[in-house]
Amino acid sequence: MLSETILEMKGISKSFPGVKALNGVDFKLRKGEIHAVMGENGAGKSTLIKVITGVYEKDSGLITLQGEPIHFKTPQEAQNRGIGTVYQEIMLCPNLTVAENMFIGRSRNPVVNWKQMNNKAAQLLESLGIPASPLQELTSCSLAVQQMIAIARAVDMDCKILILDEPTSSLDEDEVHKLFALMLELKARGVGIIFITHFLEQVYEISDRITVLRNGKLIGEYETSSLSQIELISKMLGNKLEDITKIKKHEPLVSDSTIPVLEGVGLSSAAGVRPFDFTIQKGEVNGFAGLLGSGRSESVRAIFAADKVTSGEIRMNGKRVKIKNPLDAIKQGIGYLPEDRKGDGIIADLSVRDNIILALQVMKGFFKPFSLKQTEAFADEYIRKLNIKTPTPNTPIKSLSGGNQQKVILARWLLTNPEYLILDEPTRGIDVGTKVEIQKLVIKLAEEGMSLTFISSEIGEMLRTCSRLIVMKDREIVGELRGTDLSENDVMTMIAQGGESKCAN
Amino acid sequence: MRKLITTLSQLVLPISVMMLLIVINLIKGVDYFNITLVNGALYGNIPNILFGASELVILSIGMTLVTAASQGQDISIGVNATISSAVFVLFVLHAGEVTLLVIVAGFLLSCVAGLVLGAFNGTLVSVFKVQPMVASLILFTGGRSIAFMIDGKLSPILANDISNQIGTVIPGVPIQTPIILTAIFIALVAVLFKTTNLRLYVETVGINPNAARLNGINPKKIIFLTFLIMGVCSAVAGFIAVNKAGRHDSVNQLKLIMMDAILAVAIGGNSLIGGKFSITGSIIGAYTIEMLNRTLLRLEIEPAMIKVFKAVFIIILMVVASPVVRVYFSKTLDRVRTWRLTTTIPKDAMVSTGKKEE
């Protein structure tokens, strides 16, 4: 009975202009199983989900629900056929009651039978063991309970398949376990659950099977118990062979007595990273390695004070400095290229020129604007130096390609002539050519004496450019690797072992 | 030169509306541009527009900045102008003999009042993250009572020569004083933009507050600053209005002017959800609104009907300028261009990319 298939997908393909998001992917969900879908960003997980739920239409392939071919055109249709979805952000109305949230938009009847609705909600909450009352306002529930109510809303109406897209990312450990209890309850009822998360531990704790995707292709389906963490990680990351093996990394010339350019002790921030120590030498390139959500970005953001710093102290060249906000950091000679280019990096409507001069201008001060001539000179210099492809310096940055936008942000920081430059995922979502250019630039800058931190989801890139890797897992530093002949295997072993040693504690 | 062209292309809407109104007026009567000299000062349609629009112009400058940085509008500006001018009137009436020094001191005091009001709105918006329109609703609702409390009686009269000259003309100067004051104010704003990074900071905050913060700009401070500037604009507008009228009227002075100010910002080609802005556009927009009002009067439309005509005109204007229509026209233009350029390229190569993954 347990192996009865409810959802089967065969040879699913889906293309967007310029990208093949899914390429002949097979997927099988059985009754009463929790099935994790794993892969790095851009692997095609969300596209797969959206094809199932009818947000996107597949280009080719076959989907059968309990043996019957289906083709959903809208999410509503999928919902009516018993496929419920809960997303990462809770998509409920905070100012309505629990019962209202569970049944809103469900009935076509213009008159609401409040009593019946509240009774039904109470029953459902009780049967699922959710600690909430139907008449309670949603905001008065904890995040985990809200997430559970979202699930209750989805599983009501004879749900056969429940899709959970990163439901645990905003929950703490305790809340996660409450959510898992609910998932097990639903599993026992025969609901097939598709579970997407970046947390490896959670996958091993709750899932029965794992399907791994990479670059829109199916890598395989595995029994969780027969796949070790390290195998999973290597399957997720793959061996991305690119023709940039020639990049030669730079070793900083340091002795033990050298004072580091930047030294942080016990740093932590409001974004929730465990206190950590960090040092970087002149001319060194180091990197934070780890899977998504492991706390790489949170760590560098803590150094730059991009999130509220909650503890720790920073010394630059041996002198204690106060860095309370990004402006302090910039004035101390630190630059930070953020991970989220669109959300935190570019000023979309402003010209390439304004985007380039921004940080230096802010550093110079509100009452000291550069002359137009000066800004034009700066922009022209860096457009040429970094080979930024833009029609004119006055073109709004939003009309440039991703790679060129990233180069503009790089130019912005290089213009401030920082002592220490943090690059958080500078190569994400940009073309291969620009990726190589950026990596070469990192090496060149280090040779000129700049200290850099380089973070990338592609471990290969980091191995090529960094002389020291700080390995993170679950928002904690689990180890450090140095030397010129590191391999991806070393990193993966450390990520996997870091978890094991933690479990043993 | 190229910069001039891009600036002009942003101002296409306000300038073309102005042209249209001029044409309508010229059809009505060719004497539209006539200027007469009365008692040594210039009068006529154009000077009257410049005279009548002075408060609106000053307020729309502040409104442009507030809109750009906070992505919302301040609706308490007319009321704030009334409160700060009440302070001015109170000071002048209690000063005994009215000298130029008293007027200047009163004006500076009213500017302080304007700053306080601006700081109130600014704190609500920047620190407490209240939406600008809701935050300014407080003063919009209660502000006229405050003005009434300050001026004591319903409408104290400013009966002195200096006030009269500020509101009308200074003997020997051919241009009406409010026009000159407005010109001085615009010049000061221009100097402010020239000597500071106000534009870069405000635009950055309005477009992407997160990125602004990561580049060392404090979005709260900038939003607060725009409300302070708005407060000064209100005080100056109130000063001009009260001297023009010769009395302070807590109930009707500059009533509902914020609607015209918001409209001026919109006609000026500015987005009402913040970001890049054009002060020049808003100024032209403000003059255009005054021109529209006077055109409708000149066309001898019944006073009761004027608002209807104004509304219809603005609806047409906004639809023509809406992104939907603009995109449609630019697409049509593109299609014509590609059709002309390419007869050899296969058709499906020209299909534009519709969807994009997140």
The verdict on A271 touching B (C-beta cutoff 8 Å) is: no
| Min Cα–Cα distance to chain A from B214, Å | 6
Q: Does residue A59 surpass a pLDDT of 50?
A: yes
Handedness of CA A39, A45, A46, A49 (dihedral sign): negative
Beta bridge partners of A309: A269
In chain B, which residues have their Cβ closer than 8 Å to the Cβ of A330? 215-216
Q: Does residue A157 surpass a pLDDT of 70?
A: no
**Three-state helix/strand/coil letters over A12-32:** EEEEECCEEEEEEEEEEEECC
- Lowest-confidence segment of A125-134, B121-130, B341-350 by average pLDDT: B341-350
| Min Cα–Cα distance to chain B from A305, Å | 9
For residues B97 and B179, membership in a common domain is answered with yes
For residues B61 and B198, membership in a common domain is answered with yes
Confirm if A475 and A298 have CB atoms less than 8 A apart.
yes
Interface of A with B in 357-396 (CB under 8 A): 358-359, 361-363, 365-369, 392, 394
* Helices B323-341, B303-321: inter-axial angle, 10-degree rounding: 40
- What pLDDT, on a 0 to 100 scale, did the predictor assign at position B109? 97
Nearest to B216 among A18, A326, A354 (CB): A326
Q: Does residue B81 surpass a pLDDT of 80?
A: yes
Q: Which residue of B has its CA nearest to A365?
A: B197
The verdict on B34 touching A (C-beta cutoff 8 Å) is: no
Q: What is the mean pLDDT of residues B301-323?
A: 83
In a domain, B146, yes or no: yes
SS3 B250: coil
The verdict on A341 touching B (C-beta cutoff 8 Å) is: no
Residue with tokens 């101390």: A332
Interface of B with A in 240-299 (CB under 8 A): 275-276
Residue with tokens 């000061």: B188
The verdict on B314 touching A (C-beta cutoff 8 Å) is: no
- Give the whole-angstrom CA distance, residue A494 versus residue A501: 10
The verdict on B145 touching A (C-beta cutoff 8 Å) is: no
Q: Does residue B329 surpass a pLDDT of 80?
A: no
**Cβ contact, residue pair B208, A325, below 8 Å:** no
- Give the whole-angstrom CA distance, residue B103 versus residue B107: 6
Q: Which residues of A217-244 are buried (b: 16+ CB within 10 A; e: fewer)?
A: bbbeebebeebebbebbbbbbbeeeeee
Query: What six digits make up the tokens of B113?
Result: 């009042």
Q: What is the mean pLDDT of residues B106-123?
A: 97
- Lowest-confidence segment of A100-104, A356-360, B91-95, B335-339 by average pLDDT: B335-339
- What pLDDT, on a 0 to 100 scale, did the predictor assign at position A429? 67
For residues B281 and B313, membership in a common domain is answered with no
pLDDT digits (tens, 9 = 90+) for A414-434: 999 999 999 998 987 676 667
In chain B, which residues have their Cβ closer than 8 Å to the Cβ of A392? 2
pLDDT digits (tens, 9 = 90+) for B177-217: 999 999 999 999 999 999 999 999 999 999 999 999 999 99
- Give the whole-angstrom CA distance, residue A183 versus residue B300: 74
Nearest to A359 among B194, B215, B353 (CB): B215
Disruptive mutation site among B6, B218, B277, B357 for chain A (greatest number of A CBs within 10 Å): B357
- What pLDDT, on a 0 to 100 scale, did the predictor assign at position B345? 46
Beta bridge partners of A396: A351
H helices present in A129-260, as ranges: 143-155, 173-188, 200-206, 229-237
How does residue B30 score in pLDDT terms, banded at 50, 70 and 90?
confident
Q: Does residue A98 surpass a pLDDT of 70?
A: yes
In chain B, which residues have their Cβ closer than 8 Å to the Cβ of A21? 357
For residues B242 and B313, membership in a common domain is answered with no
The verdict on B330 touching A (C-beta cutoff 8 Å) is: no
For residues B85 and B178, membership in a common domain is answered with yes
pLDDT digits (tens, 9 = 90+) for B121-138: 999 999 999 999 999 999
DSSP string, B312-339: HHHHHHHHHHSHHHHHHHHHHHHHHHHH
Beta bridge partners of A212: A38, A220
Number of domains in chain B: 2
SS3 A49: helix
- What pLDDT, on a 0 to 100 scale, did the predictor assign at position A120? 87
Q: Does residue B330 surpass a pLDDT of 80?
A: no
Maximum C-alpha span of chain A? 79
For residues B202 and B115, membership in a common domain is answered with yes
In a domain, B178, yes or no: yes
Q: Does residue A175 surpass a pLDDT of 80?
A: no
Q: How many beta carbons lie within 10 A of that of residue B35, not counting itself?
A: 12
- Give the whole-angstrom CA distance, residue A312 versus residue A277: 9
Beta bridge partners of B44: B35
For residues B320 and B218, membership in a common domain is answered with no
Interface of B with A in 184-243 (CB under 8 A): 194-198, 200-201, 203-204, 207-208, 210-218
In a domain, B351, yes or no: no
**Cβ contact, residue pair A369, B216, below 8 Å:** no
Q: Does residue A2 surpass a pLDDT of 50?
A: no
Query: What six digits make up the tokens of A66?
Result: 């309990």
DSSP string, A265-300: EEEEETTT---EEEEE-TT-EEEEE--TTSSHHHHH
Q: Does residue B354 surpass a pLDDT of 50?
A: no
Q: Which element (helix H / strand E) includes A61?
A: strand A60-65
DSSP character for A195?
E
Query: What six digits make up the tokens of B284?
Result: 């032209």
In chain A, which residues have their Cβ closer than 8 Å to the Cβ of B216? 325-327, 330-331, 359, 362-363
For residues B58 and B173, membership in a common domain is answered with yes
| CATH number of the domain within which B35 lies | 1.10.3470
For residues B171 and B130, membership in a common domain is answered with yes
Q: Which element (helix H / strand E) includes A222?
A: strand A217-223
In a domain, B355, yes or no: no
DSSP string, B186-199: HHHHHHHHHHS-HH
Query: What six digits make up the tokens of A397?
Result: 């940055």
**Cβ contact, residue pair B214, A394, below 8 Å:** no
In chain A, which residues have their Cβ closer than 8 Å to the Cβ of B203? 347, 349-350, 354
Query: What six digits make up the tokens of B198?
Result: 């106000």
- What pLDDT, on a 0 to 100 scale, did the predictor assign at position B75? 95
DSSP string, A395-426: SBGGGS-HHHHHHHHHHHHHHT--SEEEEEST
**Cβ contact, residue pair B216, A17, below 8 Å:** no
**Cβ contact, residue pair A358, B215, below 8 Å:** yes
- Give the whole-angstrom CA distance, residue A63 versus residue A153: 25
Q: Which residue of A has its CA nearest to B3?
A: A394
| HSE value, Cβ hemisphere, 13 Å, CA-based, for B2 | 4
How does residue A124 score in pLDDT terms, banded at 50, 70 and 90?
confident
Q: Which residue of B has its CA nearest to A324?
A: B216
Q: Which element (helix H / strand E) includes A217?
A: strand A217-223
Beta strand A34-38 pairing with A192-196: parallel
What's the predicted TM-score (pTM) here? 0.75
- What pLDDT, on a 0 to 100 scale, did the predictor assign at position B13? 78
For residues B242 and B142, membership in a common domain is answered with yes
For residues B327 and B178, membership in a common domain is answered with no
In a domain, B350, yes or no: no
**Residues contacting residue B225 through CB under 8 Å, at least 6 positions apart:** B69, B122, B198
Residue count of chain A, please give it.
505
The verdict on B303 touching A (C-beta cutoff 8 Å) is: no
Disruptive mutation site among A362, A370, A392, A413 for chain B (greatest number of B CBs within 10 Å): A362
* Helices A402-415, A352-364: inter-axial angle, 10-degree rounding: 20
SS3 B311: helix
Phi/psi for A104 (5° steps) reads -60, 135
In a 10 Å sphere around its CB, with 0-12 CB exposed, 13-18 middle and 19+ buried, how is residue A212 labelled?
buried
Beta bridge partners of B247: B157
pLDDT digits (tens, 9 = 90+) for B254-263: 998 999 999 9
Disruptive mutation site among B192, B214, B228, B348 for chain A (greatest number of A CBs within 10 Å): B214
| Min Cα–Cα distance to chain A from B10, Å | 14
Confirm if A21 and A216 have CB atoms less than 8 A apart.
yes
For residues B165 and B281, membership in a common domain is answered with yes
- Give the whole-angstrom CA distance, residue A457 versus residue A442: 16
The verdict on B356 touching A (C-beta cutoff 8 Å) is: yes
**Cβ contact, residue pair B207, A350, below 8 Å:** yes
Q: What is the mean pLDDT of residues A77-82?
A: 84
Across the A:B interface, residue pairs with CB atoms under 8 Å apart total 93
Nearest to A347 among B194, B207, B357 (CB): B207
**Cβ contact, residue pair A343, B210, below 8 Å:** yes
Nearest to A306 among B212, B214, B353 (CB): B214
Q: How many beta carbons lie within 10 A of that of residue B304, not counting itself?
A: 7
- Give the whole-angstrom CA distance, residue A197 versus residue A164: 9
Confirm if A171 and A117 have CB atoms less than 8 A apart.
no
**Residues contacting residue A411 through CB under 8 Å, at least 6 positions apart:** A356, A382, A383, A385, A386, A388
SS3 A77: helix
Parent domain of B103: 2-300
H helices present in chain B, as ranges: 2-10, 12-28, 45-52, 54-70, 77-94, 100-126, 132-151, 161-167, 177-195, 198-207, 209-214, 219-245, 257-267, 279-298, 303-321, 323-341
In a domain, B49, yes or no: yes
In a domain, B161, yes or no: yes
In a domain, B41, yes or no: yes
Q: Which residue of B has its CA nearest to A20?
A: B357
**Cβ contact, residue pair B216, A47, below 8 Å:** no
Phi/psi for A7 (5° steps) reads -125, 130
Residue with tokens 């630039």: A441
Distance set, CA A323 to CA A313, A415, A451 (Å): 8, 21, 18
Q: Which element (helix H / strand E) includes A68?
A: strand A68-69
- What pLDDT, on a 0 to 100 scale, did the predictor assign at position B353? 41
In chain B, which residues have their Cβ closer than 8 Å to the Cβ of A327? 216-218
Disruptive mutation site among A56, A58, A215, A347 for chain B (greatest number of B CBs within 10 Å): A347
- Lowest-confidence segment of A74-78, A143-147, B330-334 by average pLDDT: B330-334
Residue count of chain B, please give it.
358
**Rg of chain B taking only CA atoms, in angstroms:** 23
H helices present in A335-478, as ranges: 352-364, 372-385, 402-415, 432-447, 459-465
- Give the whole-angstrom CA distance, residue B205 versus residue B209: 4
Confirm if A252 and A443 have CB atoms less than 8 A apart.
no
Confirm if B109 and B92 have CB atoms less than 8 A apart.
no
